[in-house]
Amino acid sequence: MSRIDSAINIDDLKRMAKRRLPKIMFDFIEGGAEDEVGLRTNANAFRDLRLVPRYYIDTAKREQKATLFGRTYASPFGIAPTGMAGAFRKDAELYLAQAAQEADVPYLMSGASNASMEQGAKLAGKNLWFQIYGAKNRSFQLDLVKRAIDLGLTTIAVTCDVPVSSNRERNRRNGFVRPLRMTLPTILEAMLHPAWVINYYRSGGLPMLGNWERYGEKNATPDQVADLFAKQTPDPSQVWGDIEAIRNAFPGKLLLKGVMHPEDARIATGMGVDGLIVSNHGGRQLDMMPSPLDMLPMIRAAVGPDVPLLLDSGVRRGSDIVAALCMGADFVMTGRATLYGATAGGLEGVKKAVSILQREIDLVMGQLGAVNLAALGPQYLLETVRAEEERRNTGAMVGRR
């Protein structure tokens, strides 16, 4: 049995990733903004949710296929964009792409990834989606859209929740700034993780931002390309007109990632955005944001039943995915959960993370009495059951009077 095989849950993969990475790198994955209230908010939103099962429903044959934008995937979740994944393990994005293809789930590749979308598409084919950050020079974002069209990508996402950088204090304390400020304690700590150190320096140190390489000077180094990227993003001057321009430029499905306010949801869908990823960026941006799970019912009410709503932030269990679907999400995305897998064990690690979540979804569906995703809904939520029972009991009281 390989080391990865021994992982029983996502938390095991997290521990393996943590063991492999120097603190400065693991903290970059794990950390949130400021007091990291957002991280706890996300975890608690799932922990506080209660599902009430029904029994004596034939669930011998269960399936978790999910259809989104007319395409059926093997499971109701996909892989969220995580920038610079190649720094945690060389070629991490290629492993994420290949695993997504093999498992038949979508992989939304980050615009700040080390592998390029062209490399990703070779491995993931139609399972590759691409994420874009707005850039000060609009020609970059529109060129990224054009490249996605040229590759035949069906779906892109624009991330709206990074108007400015956030205050991630773990990174500042650790010296996770470019060029990496290697203090003596950082170096000594890194020596305790020789596999990562060897892998990182053998592959040339800081990996290239693959999607931005061509926008740098000829033969630009990874550092120079990263400088260009940092000058261009985040761009606080992006406005709805920029989304409109991308909408007009891209004929496929356009997602807006990070929508939290119902009014923003209305504006986006009003201008032809096809779906929303309700997300607080995994607690990495505004620390005081509510959890996406808390906002989901309001956003659903704002956009109506037909707009696909995806959700991420805090998903670590199949039951979290099932709960999000019961709350009204159509699809769920995993950020750290699959990244732990890629970091801990490359391709095998991502496949393990995906299979853990799939197995957990299957068992939770069996426990609830749901044979497929269409059978999931608010009727399983404790608050719905309670409200329904109260309504009945009040009706009975009125009847008796």
Ligand X SMILES: Cc1cc2nc3c(=O)[nH]c(=O)nc-3n(C[C@H](O)[C@H](O)[C@H](O)COP(=O)(O)O)c2cc1C
Residues designated as active site: 281
Does residue 96 bind ligand X (CB under 6 A)?
no
Least distance from ligand X to the Cβ atom of residue 131, Å: 5
What is the SS3 assignment for 275?
strand
Q: Based on CB atoms, which residue is closest to ligand X, 31 or 328?
A: 31
Evaluate whether 107 touches 124 at the Cβ level (below 8 Å).
yes
Interface mask toward ligand X for 38-77; x: CB under 6 A: ----x-----------------------------------
Does residue 166 bind ligand X (CB under 6 A)?
no
Six token digits for residue 73? 């995937």
185-188-194 Cα angle (round to 5)? 145
Least distance from ligand X to the Cβ atom of residue 197, Å: 19
- R_g of the chain computed on alpha carbons: 22
CA–CA gap between residue 59 and residue 62 (Å, rounded): 6
Interface mask toward ligand X for 118-137; x: CB under 6 A: -------------x------
Which residues from 326-385 bind ligand X, rule CB under 6 A?
A: 334-337
Q: Based on CB atoms, which residue is closest to ligand X, 59 or 313?
A: 313
Six token digits for residue 32? 């949130």
Q: Which residues contact 260 (CB under 8 A, 6 or more apart)?
A: 161, 278, 279, 280, 289, 290, 292, 295, 299
What φ, ψ does residue 253 adopt, rounded to 5°?
-85, 130
Single out the segment in contact with ligand X by CB under 6 A; choices: 54-62, 182-190, 205-213, 312-320: 312-320
Least distance from ligand X to the Cβ atom of residue 400, Å: 49
Q: Based on CB atoms, which residue is closest to ligand X, 290 or 366?
A: 290
Does residue 318 bind ligand X (CB under 6 A)?
no
- Using CB under 6 A, pick the residue from 59, 75, 82, 119 that binds ligand X: 82
Evaluate whether 338 touches 79 at the Cβ level (below 8 Å).
yes
Which residues from 267-296 bind ligand X, rule CB under 6 A?
A: 279, 281-282, 284
Looking at residue 51, the DSSP 8-state letter turns out to be: B
Q: How many other CB atoms sit within 10 Å of the CB of residue 389?
A: 10
Least distance from ligand X to the Cβ atom of residue 252, Å: 18
Number of shown-chain residues binding ligand X (CB under 6 A): 23
Does residue 174 bind ligand X (CB under 6 A)?
no
What's the distance, CA 198 to chain centroid? 28
CA–CA gap between residue 364 and residue 358 (Å, rounded): 10
CA–CA gap between residue 307 and residue 118 (Å, rounded): 29
By CB under 6 A, name the binding residues for ligand X. 29, 42, 80-83, 110, 112, 131, 159, 257, 279, 281-282, 284, 312-315, 334-337
